[in-house]
Amino acid sequence: MSLDALKEKIEGKQAKIAVIGLGYVGLPVAAEFARVGFEVIGVDVIDERIAKINVGESPIEGNEPGLEDLLAEVTASERLHATSDYQELADSDVILIDVQTPVDENNEPRYVALKAVLQDLRKVLKKGALVIVESTIAPGTMNNLVQPLLEEDGLVLNDDYYLGNCPERVMPGKLLHNLRTLSRVVGGMTPETAEAMVSLYNHVVEGDLDAVDCVTAELVKTAENAYRDVQIAFANEVALICEAVGGDVWKVRELVNKSPGRHMLLPGAGVGGHCIPKDPWLLVYGAKDSEVPLRVIPAARMTNDSMPLHMAELLTDALAEHDLALASARVLVMGYAYLENSDDTRNSPSTDLVKALAESGAEVVIHDPYVPGYQSDLLESAKGCDAAVVMVRHSEYLDLDVELLKAALNYPVLIDGRAVFSQVAGQDDFSYKAVGLG
Ligand code: SAJ
């Protein structure tokens, strides 16, 4: 089928769509295209996830407004069907790939899932089909990995198949909202392919659809998250300086941001989540074979990754005020999710802190109102603990009477990574240490 014919099928919603990878990105994407009237096949490797989806239940943790109802609707109308069988993709006109692209211990992507998908897909790909990678990938991956893998058995780009990448901008808790409203960068291996992709996303995206080449799409997605990581690292470094020279980073930030064009972000106990800790390394990886002296982006990652350990340093100093050693302390860690009012623990800074405390010999009690397994009564959990360390700005903590927390603890040792209890700063009855307060 020619690209023009495919574009017409897409515009008429006659194109058969497949989505490979039914996680927190792929599942809402599949449901959205089914909602607007496309016939969608979802492919995954996890059988229980497939089974849940086919009975209209969402396998995604956390509160995703509208997703459960939408899934029930599109599976009941049989516009969305999930499977693990790639043979069911043999008649698909458009195939979206939404698999995870983590980095390894050397901060490099292995693309294990992406490679497996491409190797299976090329065996069943219909002539004239459009393949779109939505996963976040390093600049150059479309040219250096995706196209070569798809063509290993002789397929020819822009003859046997068309290819592009369109990174997603979802966020846990706002999956459907972001998919529908945020603009998207639409990378095509040819301008005509990008145009066909725009006609596809026009059905579900209200935001801008900016047609570009594939490298630009790869660069935009990884750079937008590296940008945020560097901004956070700057705020964290200013916070550390404030601690050293007797400043208050929150006052400094407020006044810095009064200066035109300044938007200093929030310092804190670290940077977690599914994108920000990873995407800067993907951006850097894209330039790995060049002579580019990569300094700022890796340094920002080091700074942000050091913040949980900084929390342990603040704790050690505060315990020493009571002649307590970390190794013999019992410590309450408040917050295990990576983000306030979320149950998502992916790459959570708290996991790094808990590991460091345990390695120091401390006994650790974890509390988190959102994370299963840690939803105990906070004040009960505090009893018998020598100190509390606040890692996440959950609303429950903001609403807490800090005097009750102090009364429950053995000692009034309170370490604050998210400016939750700053009202007690300077009070003699607390050994209060906080990120950014000197
Ligand atoms: N964080 C700080 N200081 C800040 C902002 C965040 O320490 O000023 C920490 C958070 O505590 C968290 C981590 O960084 O541990 C990430 O927070 P985030 O607000 O960036 O939330 P994410 O990880 O869900 O980021 C997503 C990203 N969206 C996509 O990749 C599509 C990111 O690009 C968005 O900017 C962000 O949502 C958003 O602003 O909603």
Q: How far is CA 30 from CA 40, 143, 287, in A?
A: 6, 26, 33
By most ligand atoms within 8 Å of CB, the mutation choice from 275, 305, 340, 397 for ligand 1 is 275
Q: Which amino acid is residue 230, in one-letter code?
A: V
- The number of the ligand 1 atom at minimal distance from the alpha carbon of 221 is 30
Residue 338 CA: nearest ligand 1 atom is: 15
List the structure tokens of 21.
């990878």
Is this model's pTM higher than 0.85 or not?
Answer: yes
pLDDT in tens, 149-167: 999 999 999 999 999 999 9
pLDDT tens-place string over residues 85-128: 999 999 999 999 999 999 999 999 999 999 999 999 999 999 99
Q: How many CB atoms lie within 10 A of CB 201?
A: 18
Tell whether the torsion through CA atoms of 375, 380, 383 and 384 is positive or negative.
negative
Q: Does residue 393 contact residue 421 with C-beta atoms inside 8 Å?
A: no
**221 assigned to active site:** yes
| Burial profile 140-172: b = 16 or more Cβ within 10 angstroms, e = fewer | bbbeebbbebbbeeebeeeebbbbbbbbbbbbb
- Chain mean pLDDT for the chain: 96
What is the rounded (10 degree) CA torsion for 356, 359, 360, 363?
Answer: 90
Cα–Cα dist 347/287, whole Å: 24
In angstroms and rounded to an integer, the radius of gyration of the C-alpha atoms of the chain is 24
Catalytic, out of 7, 9, 221, 278: 221
CA of 299 to the centre of ligand 1 (A): 18
For residues 68-105, b (16+ Cβ closer than 10 Å) or e, as one string?
eebbeebbeeebbbbbeebebbeebbbbbbbbbbbbee
Residue 382's contacts (CB-CB under 8 Å, 6 or more residues apart) are: 332, 388, 405, 408, 409
For the cut 90, the answer to whether the pLDDT of residue 61 exceeds it is: no
Question: Is 214 designated active site?
Answer: no
Residue with CA nearest ligand 1 atom 36? 171
